[in-house]
């Protein structure tokens, strides 16, 4: 039994109209004691002139009943505002209740007491006198305001009609009770008896009790009954619709069974038999491996034994459809003509010679292996039966817009294979790779199997884009699921959770792309051969724009080649002043913007042919977006500013390091979203400068009287890494000696406390960034000399490279010889 003070028992309520005592007990005939014991009720309101069965289980309530049962058996029943409090206090009770008398009492074996009580009259609690051992309160009788007239008569008739309608919708209400209540002549007694059996919210039930006028009580009850009838009619309508739907399904089932029997008698096959036979033929034609074929036939036998109306029928049918649709034995022949592949790659991409050579090596190895396999097969040797791996998994890593995805398409075109691509960016669910188990509703295979079914080949070029942007959450780790897919030793037995049988991925040529290697898990990275794609030089961008981007944008914007002409100066102007990127994606956007402006002029009849030169570029694209060389000169015209080179996932960038000092005492702060590693490099640079102050021509007392502030502008962009060490040291020496840093010099390298310059990574991207910014000299660590071989001849001719081993060599090449201002004066 729930821990209530009182709960309504399961006995049906009894109307007081059949009780002579209830009919004769009016408000004028009953005088209540001044102080009355109060019994809290949970979820129940007792009305005057009604009989209600109650069950009592709380010790406090049992004590109250024991005390009053020997006397007048009179007590107050008050509803609790809060249902979940076992022993409500005065603050939890309503102020209006019903005085009641006990007619019958029965003690159950479990200690509870069952009562039959009759409500007598309403009362209001004026104050609680005691709370222990049970509640006692001072009360006053609330008389009812009885009314007559047409309005009361109309409301009374409406209540009776609604109650009869509700009784028709609820068969569980006894017919005798309905007849008894319908015959009650007194409207007040009618309201209380209907409210006693009507299910309603505790606040609505209490409101009916508290309303003083009979017309208000009738109006409230009309509203409640109208809503209840509406709910019951809607529920009955829903039940009828559900029942009719069930009857329809059963009828269709019986008709289908009869149809099957008739077709068997006539020797004709039904739809299900035809579908089973169709699946059997497709299984034969799919040429599955033994394991997959055995699984397919097992599921087909189960399908044949199930009725089509069964829920599992659709699940098995969908599974079989996936099995027979996969390209178990469908391949496309490889075109291993090396000259054709070279021509295709050159048509699609300018430059990228190292990448093209690696792809041609891959194709050459495949051709030699195929020739050897055909020779062994001709000799009837069993060696050719051995499974050969497809080879390495290629991973193209480079900044956006350098052609990683389009390289995969070119490889597929050169090989004559089909191309399929899926994006892994933001993928967090392992089931996206391995699929869902068939036990789940709406289960389906992973995206690997889905793509192979879509492309209808088991040896396509399969590109997994943005592999560095995989996520992980409570649904699993997709990167770990890819370990099996991208391992040539394992992917011949790849098992999707939905398909359940092994599918051979060893003939698929997987290519992945990424902007950075930092976020790729080490075990996954170990399975791939990384090919770095660096940014393009200015000359390469010019040729890409001339031969690839401009023709495509002319075509896409509805122009003809003779209607627009770009000069080389205009293209270089766009490259230098409107884009500053490693790739050519934004360059193509800006060229498209020019083409659209020209299209407007041609459609308006203002021109028939437009020659785009630097002046027209400014007219079409507006003011330049990026700094010119003069801006770099302006920012480095005071001591304490040096130009560094940085690597980012979107290519190389130049960054300025600024230092200043003010009166203070050895303070040193770094700002500009600088990471922990870069802060430590700044500390190391300061320590080096302080320890070599005399050799550098710096007054050692400056540090005792100064605070130094190091700032790296573009403060909203996070920066980290040790390669800014030489730049920070140069900026500090420039500040403290008053010597300017050369405006055409960029530098990179990590420093030690002894002043050695250590090698760093990303040299090619950093040098390309320096070239884009117009720098003439780049200072690099001596140990990075080998990285210069990766640069094109154009870059090596345009930039003077200074290879250094110590900070002294850096300062010698980076600082101007003339003294701009005395070293002892504080910076402004």
pLDDT tens for 369-415 read: 877 777 777 766 555 445 455 556 889 988 888 888 888 888 888 88
The answer for 346, left when phi > 0, alpha when psi is -120 to 50, beta otherwise, is alpha
pTM, 2 dp? 0.60
What pLDDT does 241 receive? 81
Tokens of 798: 């345009």
Tell me if 761 is assigned to a ligand binding site: no
Tell me if 402 is assigned to a ligand binding site: yes
Dist CA 248 CA 242 (whole Å): 10
pLDDT band for position 14 (cuts 50, 70, 90): very low
- pLDDT over 80 (residue 11): no
- Express the helix, strand and coil content of the chain in percent, nearest 5 each: 45, 20, 35
Residue identified by tokens 């040291």 is: 729
Tell me if 97 is assigned to a ligand binding site: no
What pLDDT does 680 receive? 92
- pLDDT over 70 (residue 820): no
pLDDT band for position 24 (cuts 50, 70, 90): very low
Tell me if 20 is assigned to a ligand binding site: no
Q: Per mean pLDDT, which range of 372-386, 635-649, 814-828 is the poorest? A: 814-828
- pLDDT over 90 (residue 271): no
**Residue 555 vs residue 389, higher pLDDT:** 555
What pLDDT does 780 receive? 94
- CB under 8 Å to 771, separation ≥6 — which residues? 537, 538, 795, 798, 799
What pLDDT does 10 receive? 36
The length of the chain, given as a count of residues = 828
Dist CA 392 CA 405 (whole Å): 18
Q: Per mean pLDDT, which range of 214-228, 232-246, 748-762, 771-785 is the poorest? A: 232-246
Q: What domains lie within the chain, and their CATH numbers?
A: 6-141 (2.30.130.40), 271-325 (no CATH), 338-532 (3.40.50.300), 538-621 (1.10.8.60), 629-819 (3.30.230.10)
Neighbours of 619 (CB within 10 A): 12
Q: Per mean pLDDT, which range of 76-80, 363-367, 552-556 is the poorest? A: 363-367
Describe the crossing of helices 187-197 and 150-169 by its angle, rounded to 10 degrees: 30
Tell me if 718 is assigned to a ligand binding site: no
Average pLDDT, the chain: 83
**What does DSSP assign to residue 639?**
T
- pLDDT over 60 (residue 670): yes
Q: First CA to last CA across the chain, in angstroms? A: 84
Tell me if 119 is assigned to a ligand binding site: no
What pLDDT does 357 receive? 84
Helix/strand/coil for 217: helix
Tokens of 102: 């006990």
What pLDDT does 714 receive? 80
Task: Give CA separation, 48 vs 33, 98, 544, in Å.
Answer: 17, 6, 95
Catalytic residues: 723, 766
The residue-averaged pLDDT of 820-827 equals: 40
What pLDDT does 578 receive? 87
Task: Give CA separation, 90 vs 8, 82, 87, 98, 126, in Å.
Answer: 21, 12, 10, 16, 11
Tell me if 400 is assigned to a ligand binding site: yes
Helix/strand/coil for 799: coil
What pLDDT does 388 receive? 56
Dist CA 549 CA 583 (whole Å): 12
Dist CA 440 CA 45 (whole Å): 48
The residue-averaged pLDDT of 426-432 equals: 84
pLDDT band for position 827 (cuts 50, 70, 90): very low
Tell me if 129 is assigned to a ligand binding site: no
């Amino acid at each position: 039994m729930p821990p209530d003070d009182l709960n309504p028992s399961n006995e049906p309520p009894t109307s007081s109209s059949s009780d002579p005592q209830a009919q004769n007990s009016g408000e004028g005939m009953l005088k209540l004691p001044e102080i009355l014991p109060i019994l809290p009720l949970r979820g129940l309101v007792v009305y005057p002139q009604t009989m209600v069965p109650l069950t009592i289980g709380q010790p406090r309530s049992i004590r109250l009943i024991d005390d009053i049962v020997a006397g007048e058996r009179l007590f107050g029943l008050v509803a609790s505002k809060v249902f979940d409090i076992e022993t409500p206090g005065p603050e939890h009770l309503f102020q209006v209740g019903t005085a009641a008398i006990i007619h019958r009492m029965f003690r159950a074996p479990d200690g509870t007491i069952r009562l039959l009580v009759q409500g007598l009259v309403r009362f209001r609690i004026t104050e609680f006198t005691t709370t222990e051992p049970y509640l006692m309160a001072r009360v006053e009788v609330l008389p009812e305001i009885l009314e007559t007239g047409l309005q009361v008569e109309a409301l009374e008739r409406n209540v009776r009609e609604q109650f009869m309608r509700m009784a028709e919708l609820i068969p569980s209400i006894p017919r005798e009770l309905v007849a008894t209540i319908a015959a009650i002549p007194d409207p007040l007694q009618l309201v209380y008896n209907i409210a006693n059996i009507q299910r309603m919210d505790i606040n609505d039930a209490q409101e009916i009790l508290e309303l003083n006028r009979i017309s208000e009580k009738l109006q409230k009850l009309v509203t409640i009954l109208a809503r209840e009838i509406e709910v019951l009619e809607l529920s009955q309508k829903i039940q009828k619709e559900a029942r009719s739907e069930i009857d329809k399904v059963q009828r269709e089932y019986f008709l289908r069974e009869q149809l099957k029997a008739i077709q068997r008698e006539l020797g004709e096959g039904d739809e299900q038999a035809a579908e089973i036979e169709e699946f059997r033929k497709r299984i034969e034609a799919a040429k599955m491996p033994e394991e997959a074929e055995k699984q397919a036939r097992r599921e087909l036998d189960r399908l044949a034994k199930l009725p089509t109306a069964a829920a599992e029928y659709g699940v098995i049918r969908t599974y079989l459809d996936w099995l027979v649709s996969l390209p178990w034995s469908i391949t496309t022949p490889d075109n291993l003509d090396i000259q054709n592949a070279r021509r295709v790659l050159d048509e699609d991409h300018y430059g990228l010679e190292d990448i093209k050579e690696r792809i041609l090596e891959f194709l050459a190895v495949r051709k030699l292996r195929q020739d050897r396999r055909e020779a062994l097969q001709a000799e009837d040797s069993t060696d050719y039966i051995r499974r050969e791996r497809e080879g390495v998994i290629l991973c193209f890593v480079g900044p956006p817009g350098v052609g990683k995805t389009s390289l995969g398409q070119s490889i597929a075109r050169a090989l004559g294979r089909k191309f399929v691509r899926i994006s892994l960016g933001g993928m967090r669910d392992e089931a996206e790779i391995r699929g869902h188990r068939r036990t789940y509703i709406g289960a389906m295979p992973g995206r690997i199997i889905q793509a192979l079914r879509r492309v209808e080949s088991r040896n396509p070029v399969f590109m997994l884009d943005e592999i560095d942007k995989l996520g992980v959450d409570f649904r699993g780790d997709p990167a770990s699921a890819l370990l099996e897919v991208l391992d040539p030793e394992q992917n011949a037995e790849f098992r999707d959770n939905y398909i359940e049988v092994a599918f051979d991925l060893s003939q698929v040529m997987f290519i992945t792309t990424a902007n950075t290697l930092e976020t790729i898990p080490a075990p996954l990275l170990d399975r791939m051969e990384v090919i770095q794609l660096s940014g393009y030089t200015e000359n390469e961008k010019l040729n890409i724009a001339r031969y690839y981007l401009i023709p495509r944008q002319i075509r896409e914007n509805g122009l003809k080649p003779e209607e627009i002409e770009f000069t080389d100066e205009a293209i270089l102007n766009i490259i230098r002043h409107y884009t500053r990127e490693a790739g050519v994606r934004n360059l193509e956007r800006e060229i498209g913007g020019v083409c659209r402006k020209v299209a407007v002029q041609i459609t308006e009849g203002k021109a028939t042919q437009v020659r785009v030169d630097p002046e027209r570029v400014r007219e079409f694209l507006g003011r330049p977006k990026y700094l010119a060389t003069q801006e770099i000169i302006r920012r480095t015209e005071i001591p304490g500013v040096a130009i560094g080179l940085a690597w980012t996932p979107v290519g190389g960038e130049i960054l300025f390091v600024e230092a200043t000092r003010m009166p203070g005492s050895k303070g040193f702060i770094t700002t500009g979203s600088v990471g922990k590693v870069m802060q430590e490099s700044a500390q190391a640079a300061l320590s080096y400068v302080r320890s070599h102050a005399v050799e550098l021509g710096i007054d050692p007392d400056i540090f005792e009287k100064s605070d130094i502030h190091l700032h790296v502008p573009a403060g909203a962009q996070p920066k980290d890494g040790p390669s800014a060490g030489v730049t920070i040291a140069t900026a500090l020496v420039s500040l403290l000696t008053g010597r300017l840093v050369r405006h055409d010099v960029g530098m990179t390298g990590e420093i030690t406390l002894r002043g050695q310059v250590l090698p760093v990574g990303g040299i090619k991207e950093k040098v390309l960034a320096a070239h884009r910014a117009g720098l003439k000299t780049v200072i690099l660590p001596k140990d990075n000399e080998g990285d210069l071989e990766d640069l094109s001849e154009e870059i090596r001719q345009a930039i003077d490279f200074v290879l250094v081993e110590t900070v002294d060599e850096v300062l010698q090449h980076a600082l101007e010889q003339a003294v701009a201002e005395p070293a002892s004066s504080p910076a402004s």
